[in-house]
Amino acid sequence: MSFKKIVVAGGGVLGSQIAFQAAYCGFDVTIWLRSKGSITRTQPKIDAIKKDYLETIAKMDTKEGKNPAIFARGIADVDTFDAKACIAKVEAAYKNLKLELDLKKAVADADLVIESMAEDVEAKKEFYKTLAPLLASKTVIVTNSSTMLPSKFAKFTGRPNMYLSLHFANEIWKNNTAEIMGQAKTEKKYFDQVVQFATDIRMIPLQLHKEKNGYILNSMLVPFLFSALDLWATDVSDPETIDKTWVMGTGAPKGPFAICDVVGLTTVYNIVLMYTKIPGFIAPYHFKAIAKKVKEYIDQGRLGKSAGIGFYNYKK
């Protein structure tokens, strides 16, 4: 392992998953959170992730378990899968994963800090400014931002040569990819260290050769989700029908609104707002209408799957 002590800043949907996966793979992991209220929101996510891992392992440990639709590559390899060993790793990850409110204490002696906060430019800048003087000289910083370029924040980190992007897909124990993208000042040795870390936590490292908003995955996914949200926001159809159309028409396992629920509606809302502010960006989407309707759901507490309800009700 090139790194040992990992700090994830932010306990949202992906932040919690990244932390749990790293802990599952034997790393010393701490999630830094802003407030006690954040702990109240994050702990249930961790509980749910543990349950998902155990349920997935149980499915993998069946005759049908080697089916690619069931088998989670982030948990084990097909030819060496041992259910008991995997369960033990889940229990150890759950037991050893730490939550911390004191940023200085959280990042002390950290090898890698993974920023996984909301898609808010100013909040990220302020976080990096606060973080910079607290870090050891060895600490590498990565951002898990879904759409923002690392060059936008590099100077605020105090170590632009050791700063880059590391982006994960949701349900990373199943969708085990990690997109790795540097910026102009990223040194290759730190890029390579992050590639190795991605491999060490059972991800398939997908290396980008230049900066691109949205990386590879979201460059394709975001327009797809916008198209679906636009159909809904302009009253062309409802989420259930739009999802059914996509699933039945393509054979995909999930429709766009089910994907939005997994991503989380707050993240979706922030991404929509970000695109409305890009100078000269022209697209056939009614962003204001989309933002208004998504915000109505957020105000009702319909935040997505992790909250038990979003476009769909998961409390049944």
Query: Which residue, of 176, 207, 238, is where some domain finishes?
Result: 207
Specify whether 132 is located in the same domain as 246. Answer: no
Specify whether 76 is located in the same domain as 112. Answer: yes
* Closest to 278 measured CA to CA, from 204, 222, 213: 213
**Structural domain harbouring 83:** 5-207
122 within some domain: yes
Specify whether 78 is located in the same domain as 171. Answer: yes
pLDDT tens across the length of the chain (316 residues)? 589 999 999 999 899 999 999 999 999 999 999 988 888 999 999 999 999 999 999 999 999 998 888 899 999 999 999 999 999 999 999 999 999 999 999 999 999 999 999 888 899 999 999 999 999 999 999 999 977 899 999 999 999 999 999 999 989 999 999 999 999 999 999 999 999 999 999 999 999 999 998 889 888 998 999 999 999 999 999 999 999 999 999 999 999 999 999 989 998 998 898 877 766 666 789 999 999 999 999 999 999 998 899 999 998 7
| CATH at 228 | 1.10.1040.10
Strand order in the sheet with 163-168: 98-100, 28-32, 5-9, 112-115, 140-143, 163-168, 177-181, 204-207
Query: Which residue, of 151, 173, 207, is where some domain finishes?
Result: 207
Specify whether 161 is located in the same domain as 287. Answer: no
CB 71 within 8 A of CB 86: no
| CATH at 137 | 3.40.50.720
Specify whether 30 is located in the same domain as 167. Answer: yes
pLDDT digits (tens, 9 = 90+) for 102-145: 999 999 999 999 999 988 889 999 999 999 999 999 999 999 99
Specify whether 28 is located in the same domain as 164. Answer: yes
Helices and strands, number each (H, E), in the chain = 11, 8
316 within some domain: no
Specify whether 192 is located in the same domain as 230. Answer: no
35 within some domain: yes
Specify whether 155 is located in the same domain as 190. Answer: yes
157 within some domain: yes
Kindly report the CA angle at 260 between 41 and 296, in degrees rounded to 5?
75
Cβ neighbors of 28 (< 8 A, separation 6 or more) are 4, 5, 6, 96
The tally of domains found in the chain comes to 2
